[in-house]
Structure 1
Amino acid sequence: MTIPTRTLNDGRSIPQLGFGVFKVEPDETERIVLDAFEAGYRHIDTAAIYRNEEGVGRAIAASGIPRDELFITTKLWNDRRGAADTRAALGESLEKLGLSHVDLYLIHWPTPKNGSPVETWETLGALRSEGLTTSIGVSNFDERYLPEILSTGVIPAIDQIELHPQFQQRPAVSLAAQHDIAIEAWGPLGQGKVDYTGGVIGEIAARTGASWAQVVLAWHLAAGRIVFPKSNRRERMEENLAAASVELSAADIAAIDALDLGAAGRVSSDPADAN
């Protein structure tokens, strides 16, 4: 299976299909990530708040996969802000992961009640210059919060936001595109809170011989988005990875595009409220 890649605005390459470990139990993480590696994944997305960085690190060490073949992302949690705390937080994550650097470090949420993110963001730029992270970006910074980051002149490589067929975040996506910021879609299948098995997506799945999840993932990939679906089951990991070979027509893509409900389609936290 060939996993498509995308070149970021900093010149680095990222696998478009990755594996997420949100809500993966710490004592199960090593086994599950090793299964993902064996299935063919090389891009792992974790975060400090997931409390499973150690398990990811153990899986990396046990896998025997050369470091330069892996793309590892982690994120700065909301209680760590400012230069000293941000620097310390990345150091803690690197120790847990057993790595000298991560490939991507993100501010996890804008948390507006914490005040301006500028000092924290500029610190991520310094950490990148020091080689502690290869690329930097933000998570959950939509069109309300991304402009303050852009005002620093240090442009994120990635903006990781909730995005799936009924919630397509078009204003945020448009702003990111103006600055060649790649979009990572978290909850790319709706987090199990949306029934995408029928309707337009179900019809496309039946016609193409793909699963509904493969159709949705193929739709994301066709738009150039980066996705990292999560599953604890090896067969589902392989099914999701096989979405890279599903081809959708322009009409299929347009039909899924038309499912957008705007803000009414959100199924998780609004960044304005995640403090």
Structure 2
Amino acid sequence: MRRVKVSDFIHCQSSDNGLVTVLSFRDEKRKNQLCWAAIDELADALQAAREQGSRVVILVSDLSPHWFEHAWLEDLIAGVEGRECTGVGDGWFRALAELSHEAVVSIAAINGDASGGGAELAWACDFRVTERQARFAQIEVNVGLTTGIGGCSRLSRLIGISAATEMVLTGAAFDAVRLMELGGVNRLVKKGEALSCARQLARQLALKPPGALQGLKRVLRRAENLPLEQAMAFEQETFQQVAVSESALAAMKDCQQQYDADQSVAEVHSY
């Protein structure tokens, strides 16, 4: 299926010397339901941010009261029926791969409702900073579908099988407070504060040693899928690879000098 020419959906803004990229989504016509052209463009933007050296990427909406909503059903129907779509649609899988890529930390700055495939993008991110008014729903059952990119598998790992079962089988929305209580949200903030909180978190992350961040993200992702013994072995393997790097040696020596100067662990690491 050829691609239909459409306007841009994603606005890209970099900061912190290019280490942080904010990707803002707006599709007023579809109320932020993700057409194939939009998700393809999002995947392209995520890839470009990584290749240009960003260490942290933030996803946010520029259309209240929506964050990223479910797949635009007209494209889904057209694809099933063999008709023309707005885009290729492989962006769903490429976007997930980019959000999971070890070279970049992904933050969902959730400032509106997230549903279906949009909610699944949130589950794929490393962090979720969520405003209190936001709601989350896996609505697939209500339109005769199943989840396809993490609405069962990732969600059940985040909030537990009982809560995930309730969400996906009933199609009911969970509010941000309940998601926080279940462990599906990292930060819960007031309306209008998601992006600023996400930026603050991003700046902290961008200053961390990149080799350590990449190694830890690699270990965390593998730990989701491996039995404990294999996950432990992979964790130790990664540790040994990172520990001999020049950046790790420099960081260790700097910390040890501060310890030797009678500073406590809490003082050195600011907690």
For the criterion TM > 0.5, the same-fold answer is: no
- The alignment's TM-score, normalised by the length of structure 2, stands at 0.32
The structure whose residues are more often helix, as a share, is 2
- The alignment's TM-score, normalised by the length of structure 1, stands at 0.31
